A and B are shown apart, each in its own frame.
Chain A
Amino acid sequence: MKNKMLYKGYLGIRPHLLILCALTVLMVIMSLLAPNFLTGGNLLDILRVNSIKGIMSIAMTLVLVTGGIDLSVGSAFALSGAVTASLIAGSYSDYITSNLFKCNTCVAIAIGLLAGALVGLVNGLVITRLKVEPFLATLAMMIFARGLTYLYTGGYPINFKPIPDDFAWLGKGYVGAVPVPAVIFFLVAAAGGWILKYTAFGRLLFAIGGNRETAGLSGIPVERNICLTYVFMGVMAGLAGIIMTSRVASASAVAGDSYEMDVIAGVVLGGTLQSGGKGSVIGTVIGIFIFGIIENGLNILGMPTYFKLIIKGIVIIAAIGGRYLFPVKRRGGAKDENRQTQTTA
């Protein structure tokens, strides 16, 4: 496992030099401004907090690579969290669903993931079979799955009395010194990176994102692969929701609201193009941590939280716009094209 990470690092780091530099500079600035930034406890905190969005962003990278988008991840997050929470022994709420049926923790998690997978499957089917644009299909699913979560929970939060140890371990436990969510995040990231880079499925996703028509004509089962990507997205959103539920020992229907925007922002900052056909998992990981460190740093410095919003906006525009104005790799006359449009316009 460690070997593979190292291997991936060697191969995948080059195109991300710019953003990696940004991350390093950011860390240096933060550690100068806030002396307690570089403490082990704080770094582990950053790791733990951002693992949850990180897990979703890995799957979102795959979705964006195919040229799609998934706005429903925040809702799938809440739905899976609520379903799992209601099934685990010791959970209770003022609404009937969470008091009906209890089962083993593992089974409960499996059922929660299944709910996420179903959300993803419906997304995939609506997009591929009904030919609805991913933006609108998943926007509708965002509303629909949120409604399902409200219906299921009755709008009441689901709490635990007490939370079973094995379930609590998922969000609060440690493997050695590393928090469990971070371990899961790294596993998901390694799996995502491996899928995108070294499996036929992953390479096909790039082909689909690059040009769907051509991919279809080359005999690639476009629809099935796109469907699978959305299912994977749904499962990962569900997994993140379940970890969050375990971490805060509560599930609520409003959980994960507007997470989709944070997740997409991280992925895009990592260099994955929203138009599809280009992207990498390692970039996404860096992107997510850039936002995580900004947020953490502002918290440590005691700045008002809304500075986070402003800085986040500027970082996205600067990073993406900068990548166009000052391309790291020389891509066939991208600069010339720019000049041309500028002179004619």
Chain B
Amino acid sequence: MKTDRPRLRHKFDQQKLLLILLVLMFSGFSALRPEFASARSIDNILRTLSMYGIASMGMTLVILTGGTDLSAGSNMALAGVVGAGLLGRAIGAANPVTLPFPLTMLLALLVCGFIGWVNGYCIARLKIAPFVATLAMMSLSRGMVYVVADYMVQGVSGSPITFMNDGYTLLGHGHVGPVPVQTLLFLAVFLVLYLFLKYTRTGRAIYAVGGNQETARLAGIKPVGIILLCYTLCGMLAGLSGLILVGKLSSAATVAAKGYELDFITAVALGGTGMSGGSGGVVGTLLGAAFLAVMNNGLDMINVPSFYQYLIKGVILVLAVYGDKLLQKRGKN
């Protein structure tokens, strides 16, 4: 318990630093290009942030248990093809079923939740290292994306499912007042997870399992249940992100969201959640995802060639994690 105090202070520091950087970066981009602070641009940033943010929230849970989920990108694509496919309204749709929008969404989320549960099962029960289990699932799930897409749509293997549907359009483009629907979803997910992690027994247990699984077990927590829960939630949240992506494009591509898992992990790491588990939280991830969204949009707006953006992103990731380490060290002394 004694170690809690410096850790809390460090968390505060890291988040404050990230917040200051975020504000600085935002004002910097706005100074260079006034359009950056316009309503349309902010709307755009918010929507990017929300789509990445929702999946990053799930990733935070998994990383808090000391794991990782490399299958998140594939799960996004899987949710997309399942959701869009079951609508049965695609161009060249071949499947017999035609379901209403809410049902397709529910089924897509269930499928992704199941994938997440299998991840958790492999990790908690079969004791496969999280990295390896989810690497296998990344491959497996991407393969299923192709199978589902080929089953749902006639035509060349692996062709995207393109359709028009009000429900998905609302998800990807809708607004409530000035706020995009997906941002409301994101905030809801964020708030629920924040309260869950902070105030519920199960939420606290996630930290305990991430800190030391054996100790947690001896303290009467069931690590297997916690791990299953975290991976299932991670799968479902990745699925929700995937549905938003589909809504945004009105098309579910088989190659969608390839490599996104690394972006989610980056957002979580930027937010100060340790990769070894047990420390951090969703507030940091919110800031990390916001940081990435502002940076990506800003660099595009001030016309930095995409080649340099790779370099900048790589350096910032290392510096952020290094900064976190420095703050941690200072907090301990």
Chain A positions within 8 Å of B321 at CB level: 132-133, 136-137
Cα distance A143–B310 in the bound complex, in angstroms: 6
Known: A151-B307, A341-B217, A344-B217. A139 touches B136 (CB 8 A): no
Q: Count of B residues near A, CB < 8 Å? A: 55
The 3 closest A-B pairs by CB, nearest first: A147-B310, A313-B140, A144-B314
Q: Decide: A136 and B224 in contact? CB cutoff 8 A.
A: no
Q: Decide: B314 and A321 in contact? CB cutoff 8 A.
A: no
Q: Is A338's CB within 8 Å of the partner chain B?
A: yes
Residue of A nearest to B214 (CB): A341
Cα distance A242–B196 in the bound complex, in angstroms: 51
Q: Is A164's CB within 8 Å of the partner chain B?
A: no
Sampled A-B contacts (7; CB under 8 Å): A137-B321, A140-B313, A144-B315, A145-B314, A147-B309, A150-B310, A345-B224
Q: Is A314's CB within 8 Å of the partner chain B?
A: yes
Among A71, A137, A306, find the residue whose CB has the most chain B CB atoms closer than 10 A.
Answer: A306
Chain A positions within 8 Å of B146 at CB level: 304, 306, 309
Q: Decide: A317 and B133 in contact? CB cutoff 8 A.
A: yes
Q: Tell me the chain B residues, 97-132 only, with Cβ under 8 Å from chain A.
A: 122, 124-129, 131-132
Known: A136-B317, A136-B321, A144-B310. A321 touches B128 (CB 8 A): yes
Q: Is B92's CB within 8 Å of the partner chain A?
A: no
Question: Helix, strand, loop or mixed for chain B's interface?
Answer: helix
Chain A positions within 8 Å of B223 at CB level: 341, 345
Q: Count of A residues near B, CB < 8 Å? A: 53
Known: A130-B318, A306-B147, A313-B139. A345 touches B222 (CB 8 A): yes
Q: Is B262's CB within 8 Å of the partner chain A?
A: yes
Could you tell me which B residues sit within 8 Å of A by CB distance? 68, 70, 122, 124-129, 131-133, 135-147, 150, 157-158, 217, 222-225, 258-259, 262, 265-266, 269, 275-276, 306-311, 313-315, 317-318, 321-322, 325
Q: Decide: B313 and A143 in contact? CB cutoff 8 A.
A: yes
Q: Decide: B314 and A309 in contact? CB cutoff 8 A.
A: no
Q: Is A69's CB within 8 Å of the partner chain B?
A: yes
Q: Decide: B307 and A155 in contact? CB cutoff 8 A.
A: yes
Q: A-B contact count, CB below 8 Å?
A: 162
Q: Decide: A310 and B143 in contact? CB cutoff 8 A.
A: yes
Chain A positions within 8 Å of B276 at CB level: 133
Give A304-329 as 1s and 0s: 1 = Cβ < 8 Å from B's Cβ atoms. Answer: 10111111111111001100110000
Q: Decide: B147 and A310 in contact? CB cutoff 8 A.
A: yes
Cα distance A143–B62 in the bound complex, in angstroms: 23
Q: Decide: A314 and B140 in contact? CB cutoff 8 A.
A: yes
Min C-beta distance of A208 to chain B, whole Å: 17
Known: A132-B321, A133-B321, A341-B217. A148 touches B126 (CB 8 A): no
Q: Decide: A309 and B139 in contact? CB cutoff 8 A.
A: yes
Cα distance A273–B128 in the bound complex, in angstroms: 10
Chain B positions within 8 Å of A69 at CB level: 131
Cα distance A304–B309 in the bound complex, in angstroms: 36
Q: Decide: B224 and A310 in contact? CB cutoff 8 A.
A: no
Among the 9-residue stretches A166-174, A197-205, A258-266, the one with 4 or more Cβ atoms under 8 Å from chain B is: A258-266
Cα distance A309–B139 in the bound complex, in angstroms: 5
Chain B positions within 8 Å of A139 at CB level: 262, 265-266, 317
Chain B positions within 8 Å of A273 at CB level: 129
Chain A positions within 8 Å of B135 at CB level: 261, 264-265, 268, 316
Residue of A nearest to B276 (CB): A133
A139-B265, A141-B314 known; 19 new pairs, CB 8 Å cut-off, are A130-B325, A133-B275, A133-B276, A139-B262, A140-B313, A144-B314, A147-B311, A268-B129, A274-B131, A306-B145, A309-B142, A310-B147, A312-B143, A313-B140, A316-B135, A317-B128, A320-B126, A320-B129, A342-B125
Chain A positions within 8 Å of B269 at CB level: 136
Q: Is A131's CB within 8 Å of the partner chain B?
A: yes
Q: Decide: A321 and B122 in contact? CB cutoff 8 A.
A: yes
Cα distance A268–B315 in the bound complex, in angstroms: 29
Chain A positions within 8 Å of B314 at CB level: 140-145, 147
Cα distance A141–B144 in the bound complex, in angstroms: 30
Cα distance A136–B269 in the bound complex, in angstroms: 8
Q: Is A126's CB within 8 Å of the partner chain B?
A: yes
Known: A130-B318, A265-B136, A268-B132. A306 touches B225 (CB 8 A): no
Partner of B158, one of A137, A306, A344: A306
Known: A126-B318, A131-B325, A143-B313. A150 touches B136 (CB 8 A): no
Partner of A321, one of B126, B144, B157, B315: B126
Residue of B nearest to A268 (CB): B132
